[in-house]
Amino acid sequence: MKIHEYQARGILSEYGVPIPRFEVVDDPGDARRVAEEIGRMVVVKAQVHVGGRGKAGGVKLAKTPDEAEKHATAILGMDIKGLTVERVMVADAVDIESEYYVGIVVDRATKRPVYMVSAAGGVDIEEVAATTPERIHKHPVDPDKGLSTAEAQELAAKLDTRPHVVRDIAVVVEKLYDAFTGSDASLAEINPLVVTPDEQVWAIDAKINIDDNALFRHPDIEAMRDPSGETDDLRRAREMGLSYVKLEGDVGCIVNGAGLAMTTMDVIKYYGGEPANFLDIGGSSSPEKMQTAIDIITSDPNVKSILINIFGGITRCDDVARGLVAALKERSVGLPLVVRLTGTNAEEAGQILAEHEMKSAETMDEAVEKVVELARRQA
Ligand code: GDP
Ligand code: MN
């Protein structure tokens, strides 16, 4: 889950990372008030779930409260990479002498958190990685031991040479790691971490992504969720416990289990079709889940036919059939539907379907071939 810069700043400052004073507002008049309270140069920053806000015109320095109000007026409502700015941060601005990058990601290849630091901070770090990868220093961290003070100092020494600046950066490096593990993040970065002309160290941007699988133990972070960064169908799928990924094709799929879902997409492609989505209804099959799944899929205007492919194990086919019948009673789908149910209680499922003039395909191949053909005919 993504959180906003101001929320990430909040987490980092709890862990002791030095963060300039800030407030979040949704009104230009409030931006002026905060600028007045700060009483110095401020920076007005769009709060949206994308990077590169500076380049897009979403980060502006203001010398006076007047200017802060003007910038807030311009930035609020602005569209940045398809997202509308609903709130801005007004923060105490710092003078910048150097801009550094420090960040941690979970690296799937080494199965460890990898620390990355670069003296080429402030700019797009993906670009640095692509053009001058030697300017990024990587350091895998042993998750059992954690990050030692010595490791933090070594990383800090890649960024600066002045002993007390290195010491202050090392403190940030350690605290960022604490925040990363403490919040079960999959990514935590400060870009830029700046040194001022009088050699103070400040984190002036912050980004944290939280591992969705760990959110249950962070209700405070779960409460930070901003649905404006999430589409309606994604939100409904998440709330119902479905894993849903929208794709570009026209064959909607409702499947149980991630493995079967992947296989189904492969077989659809094999028969010359294109899946419209990945949708795993998971291990249990309440009628509500089936209804939500059908709603989500039929709300995608690209979908031309729907395949329901269930391999009953813990999931009982009769439950799925009942859910399907209930779902169809509620709404007319208006699209051709192909069902294939096999496994636990498949016979009962067949009876339920038959009572409603439906029939399960015998095999996955038969079902997929048919659903692809139906999509083609509708197109
Ligand atoms: P991003 O573009 O979304 O990554 O937003 P950042 O918060 O990183 O801001 C972009 C750039 O604006 C930074 O790299 C700085 O150069 C500049 N900037 C942001 N905050 C300040 C500040 O407090 N003082 C100064 N002088 N520049 C700032
Ligand atoms: Mn940044």
Tell me yes or no: is domain 98-222 CATH 3.30.470.20: yes
Fold of 21-92: Dna Ligase; domain 1 (3.30.1490)
The whole-number pLDDT of residue 284 equals 65
Is residue 101 part of the annotated active site? The answer reads yes
The whole-number pLDDT of residue 230 equals 73
Distance from Cα 29 to the centre of ligand 2, integer Å: 26
Question: Averaged in consecutive runs of 10 residues, what is the pLDDT profile of the chain (379 residues)?
Answer: 96 98 98 98 96 94 98 96 92 98 94 97 90 96 97 98 98 98 98 98 98 95 86 83 91 94 96 96 77 89 95 88 86 88 94 91 95 92
Torsion of CA 234, 236, 241, 246, to 10 degrees: -30
Q: Of 101, 115, 177, 244, which one is the catalytic site residue? A: 101
Cβ atoms of residues 325 and 305 within 8 Å: no
CA separation for the pair 189, 208 (Å, rounded): 7
The whole-number pLDDT of residue 239 equals 86
Please state the length of the chain: 379
Which ligand 1 atom is at minimum distance from the Cα of 191? Answer: 8
Is residue 189 part of the annotated active site? The answer reads yes
CA separation for the pair 252, 276 (Å, rounded): 5
Q: Ligand 1: which residues within 6 Å by Cβ?
A: 43, 45, 51-54, 59, 61, 93-94, 96, 99, 122, 191-192, 204-205
Cβ atoms of residues 208 and 3 within 8 Å: yes
Where are the domains positioned within the chain?
A: 21-92, 98-222, 231-378
Q: Which of 140, 375, 135 is nearest to 273 (CA)?
A: 375
Tell me yes or no: is domain 231-378 CATH 3.40.50.2000: no
Provide the CA 141 distance to its chain's centre, in angstroms. 24
Distance from Cα 137 to the centre of ligand 1, integer Å: 22
Distance from Cα 76 to the centre of ligand 1, integer Å: 17
Residue 143, φ and ψ in degrees, nearest 5: -65, -25
The whole-number pLDDT of residue 135 equals 95
To test ligand 1's pocket by mutation, which of 24, 40, 59, 92 has the most ligand atoms within 8 angstroms of CB? 59
